[in-house]
Amino acid sequence: MAKKEEPINLIDTFSEFKELKNIDKTTMVSVLEESFRSVISKMFGTDENFDVIVNPDKGDFEIWRNREVVADDEVESPHMEIALSEARKIDPSYQVGEDVTDEVEFATFGRRAILNLRQTLSSRILELEKDNIYNKYIEKVGTIVTAEVYQIWKREILLLDDEGTELLLPKSEQIPRDFFRKSETVRAIVARVENKNNNPKIYLSRTSPIFLERLFEMEVPEINDGLITIKKVARIPGERAKIAVESYDDRIDPVGACVGVKGSRIHGIVRELRNENIDVINYTSNTQLFIQRALSPAKITSMRLNEEDSKVEVYLQPEEVSLAIGRGGFNIKLASELTGFNIDVYRELEEGIEEEDIFLDEFSEEIDEWVIDAIKGIGIDTAKAVLNSPRERLIEEADLEEETIDEVLRILKSEFEDEDL
């Protein structure tokens, strides 16, 4: 009985793993059989003549060895063959050429075999657990998960889900105003799952447009029910977002449903996103109307559309230009991303007056290219558009020094003064 004690304990040990790792009974039996066969194969060079029977319900196992009966002086492999005299001790009727099946006590294989089995089992269980984690989370990509902050590093945060699985939230995937403490609960989407060298890593994101989509799906029942569809999303995380929605039921106002009574539905999303300003607009397949809605709250006077190159020139009254561009150029950037068109904003000139204008790129010899790019980045790409813009706005939104802006204005003014002469 003492010989059987060690392997039975092995079964108990595996059962503990089973409870901890949620490995099903069929897999458990398969792992045990593979592990026993692996050890037997290492010991005897083959496991072909062994039968391993695992009884998970009873918590025990049996190993049976099959050997061919040969003449007493012809035994070459004791684990493949048995001498006739030895076979007849088991049953006097055995003859040469017949097969003898006898039970083998695993403990008789020695301490090294038992240690080998433990290591093989542990290694195999670890592999299974990693496979389970990978398969579980590869199916969760694009969905929201909730996890607890376990450790905070400079470049990423380590979180644990309900089962203790490690999840990573990189700094680049955090909203700029995110601030978390240990043990705090965090919501994010599963952005991607890597599995290099069978070592799964799950990366989360709070900056992805999909995170915003999923939050709306959770807060707005009509989206979850399929009555409202999210068509497009554009985000500058923590600053501003635009989301285009469409209703399949004429009785439902998609914008009103997403915002909720007195903003009840959208307020929770805004708080989750650290006060990100969210514009919800009605989607339309009419390109010009969609661009007009995307540039809200600015009111467009007219536009010139080039669908082939995905470009559009938008003309507005002078007082509407700053609204179209928005603080930091966010509004025009998001509108471009949402519509898929590169939007250029121009001031509407007074009727009957035509003026020649010059693109800023033409001044590349007099003005540094990075300065031109900074000004173009806020939606201004012509000389007269710069001259018509408030000096303070150019300094603040283009993030340029006063001396730099003054020099740009001097160069541009001199160009038109030379023309007047």
User: What is the structure's pLDDT at 283?
Assistant: 95
Q: Give the integer Cα–Cα distance in Å for 81 and 69.
A: 6
**pLDDT tens-digit profile, the chain (421 residues):** 344 444 445 555 555 555 545 667 777 778 888 888 888 888 888 888 888 887 766 667 888 889 888 888 888 888 788 888 888 888 888 888 888 888 888 777 778 877 888 888 788 888 888 888 999 999 999 999 999 999 999 999 999 999 899 999 999 999 999 999 999 999 999 999 999 888 999 999 999 999 999 999 999 999 999 999 999 999 999 999 999 999 988 899 999 999 999 899 999 999 999 999 999 999 999 999 999 999 998 988 888 888 888 999 998 888 888 889 888 889 999 999 999 999 988 887 554 334 567 888 788 888 888 888 888 888 787 888 888 887 887 888 888 888 999 998 988 888 776 554 4
pLDDT of residue 16: 54
CATH homologous superfamily for the domain 208-283: K homology (KH) domain (3.30.300.20)
- N-term to C-term CA, the chain: 114
What's the pLDDT at 101? 85
Model-wide pTM > 0.75: no
DSSP states along 346-409: EEPPPTT------BGGGGTTTS-HHHHHHHHTTT--BHHHHHTS-HHHHHHHTT--HHHHHHHH
Q: CA-CA distances (angstroms) from residue 145 to 55, 150, 164, 202, 211? A: 38, 15, 13, 11, 10
Distances (CA, A) of 9 to 6, 104, 289, 346, 352: 5, 17, 73, 80, 96
Give 140-207's CATH code, choosing from 1.10.510.10, 3.90.76.10, 3.40.1010.10, 2.40.50.140: 2.40.50.140
Q: Which fold has domain 360-420?
A: DNA polymerase; domain 1 (1.10.150)
Residue type (1 letter), 186: V
Residue 95 per-residue DSSP state? -
Task: Report domain extents, the chain.
Answer: 2-135, 140-207, 208-283, 360-420
CATH level 3 topology of 2-135: N Utilization Substance Protein A; Chain:P; domain 4 (3.30.1480)
Is 360-420 the same fold as 208-283? no
Stated length of the chain: 421
According to the model, what pLDDT value does residue 355 have? 54
CB 355 within 8 A of CB 408: no
